[in-house]
């Protein structure tokens, strides 16, 4: 197909392609347990708005005389609501809706770099690969820190790494609340203790929390088992993803940060009459609207109930797996993620799962039916009990591993 032979939108060939795409997506959805997208957000009834052009160029809470078709007020409300849920100080908060968690983390670390100058980023080896990528893009050195047996940051190793770094470098620590492969939680209080232990001054550090997957699933976990992950625990900035636990159908994220941790702001006015404070220029107006609708639909009680239901499904999945002879299947107590031995390639072709070395996982997100999990366990156990016909090709293994990180 070339541009001058493009068929009209209503042409049968076009409709045929779209119908084929629909079938393909429906099939893909049927065996989708590997990637952490909730499926219970119901946006029917708002379809007219998807046809309305929206552009949130500018910054939520700042004056604009830009494009009038925007959702900046709703975006401001989203930031305030998420800030409340993660206990950000009422008099020291700012933030925005981004294209995803990567952009949110980049914005937070960009501010920290501009504020401190010489900095070094630390994150565990289980942190999302975007942390190393962002450090590279910002030309900031990055030190990966080892993890313990369950995927949580090794705090003593963090202290040691900081003690061994160049004098004058301000540590920017990215803690992960829900790591990509096993959904482990780094403890923000212990991160601060690790910094105290090597005499890092309280005003010469920044702790960002990457809570992309599960931040809003943790807010009402009872004290005692609630991971220390939010602003009351010492976070300076925190991101969540909109397309994971909230189930927004378009990739997006929310960044909340202490206003006082923003770097020097360039307040040069653009053609919209507002300062250009964002990583990108034109920004989605639909994403904040969808996140706002998700928060309206679920409410605080709904977020907690969905989290509980997902955990119950994950607990059930683990039990089914063990009953089926997969005795090494395990999960963290609060996780939606169930960690499993890596299945054979033929099984992965049918049930796509992220893999990392010898392990794989499923994620029991809100909206994923138990029957789907049941079917998965049955087929998975059958595949694992078959004698393996050939050893895994190590080169192929490396390639698969790279694919796995993409979510
Ligand atoms: C998904 C995820 C990311 C990346 O988010 P994008 O929205 O794809 O940029 C980063 N960190 C964690 C922990 C994640 O789960």
User: Tell me: the pLDDT tens digits for 330-340?
Assistant: 999 999 999 99
Residue 124 per-residue DSSP state: E
The predicted structure's pLDDT at residue 405? 38
Range with lowest mean pLDDT among 40-49, 64-73, 373-382, 383-392: 383-392
The predicted structure's pLDDT at residue 267? 83
Indicate whether residue 307 lines ligand 1 (CB < 6 A).
no
How many Å apart are CA 92 and CA 50, to the nearest integer?
34
pLDDT bucket at 396, cuts 50 / 70 / 90: very low
* Residue 235 pLDDT exceeds 50: yes
The predicted structure's pLDDT at residue 7? 66
Indicate whether residue 107 lines ligand 1 (CB < 6 A).
no
Residues 6+ apart with CB under 8 A from 88: 230, 231, 238, 256, 258
Q: Are strands 170-176 and 237-241 parallel, antiparallel or unpaired?
A: unpaired
Mean pLDDT of 271-300: 93
* 38 compared with 402, residue with greater pLDDT: 38
Mean pLDDT of 16-35: 92
CA of residue 238 to ligand 1 center, whole Å = 12
CA of residue 325 to ligand 1 center, whole Å = 32
**Global confidence as pTM:** 0.92
CA of residue 312 to ligand 1 center, whole Å = 24
CB burial of 237-276 (b: ≥16 within 10 Å; e: otherwise) equals: bbbbbbbbbbbbeebbbbbbbbeebbeeeeeeeeebebbb
* 313 compared with 167, residue with greater pLDDT: 313
- Helices 155-163 and 188-197, axial angle in degrees (round to 10): 40
Residue-wise pLDDT tens digits, 146-177:
999 999 999 999 999 999 999 999 999 999 99
CA-proximal residue: ligand 1, atom 14 (nearest): 212
Pocket test for ligand 1, best of 107, 131, 180 (most atoms within 8 A of CB): 180
């Amino acid at each position: 197909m070339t541009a001058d032979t493009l068929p009209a939108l209503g042409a049968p060939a076009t409709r045929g392609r779209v119908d084929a795409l629909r079938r393909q997506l429906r099939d893909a959805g049927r065996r989708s347990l590997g990637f952490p997208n909730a499926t219970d957000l119901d946006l029917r009834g708002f379809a007219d708005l998807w046809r309305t052009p929206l552009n949130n160029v500018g910054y939520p809470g700042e004056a604009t005389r830009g494009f009038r078709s925007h959702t900046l007020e709703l975006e401001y409300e989203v930031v305030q609501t998420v800030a409340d849920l993660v206990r950000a100080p009422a008099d020291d908060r700012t933030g925005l809706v981004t294209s995803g968690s990567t952009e949110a983390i980049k914005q937070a670390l960009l501010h920290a770099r501009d504020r401190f100058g010489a900095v070094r980023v630390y994150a565990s080896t289980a942190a999302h690969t975007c942390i190393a990528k962002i450090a590279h893009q910002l030309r900031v050195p990055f030190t990966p820190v080892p993890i313990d047996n369950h995927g949580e940051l090794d705090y003593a190793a963090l202290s040691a790494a900081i003690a061994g770094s160049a004098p004058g470098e301000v540590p920017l620590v990215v803690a992960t609340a829900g790591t990509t492969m096993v959904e482990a939680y780094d403890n923000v209080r212990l991160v601060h203790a690790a910094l105290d232990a090597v005499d890092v001054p309280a005003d010469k550090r920044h702790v960002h929390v990457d809570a992309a997957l599960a931040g809003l699933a943790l807010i009402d976990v009872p004290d005692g088992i609630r991971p220390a992950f939010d602003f009351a625990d010492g976070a300076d900035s925190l991101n969540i993803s909109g397309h994971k636990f909230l189930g927004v159908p378009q990739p997006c994220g929310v960044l909340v940060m202490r206003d006082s941790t923003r770097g020097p702001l360039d307040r040069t006015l653009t053609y919209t009459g507002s300062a250009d404070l964002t990583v990108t220029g034109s920004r989605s107006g639909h994403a904040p609207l969808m996140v706002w609708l998700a928060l309206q639909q679920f409410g605080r009680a709904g977020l907690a109930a969905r989290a509980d239901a997902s955990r119950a499904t994950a607990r059930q999945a683990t039990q089914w797996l063990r009953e089926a002879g997969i005795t090494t299947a395990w999960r963290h107590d609060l996780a939606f993620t169930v960690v499993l031995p890596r299945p054979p390639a033929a099984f992965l072709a049918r049930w796509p799962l992220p893999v990392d070395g010898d392990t794989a996982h499923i994620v029991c997100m809100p909206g994923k039916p138990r029957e789907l999990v049941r079917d998965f366990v049955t087929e998975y156990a059958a595949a694992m009990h078959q004698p393996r016909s050939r050893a895994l090709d190590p080169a192929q293994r490396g390639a698969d591993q790279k694919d796995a990180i993409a979510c």
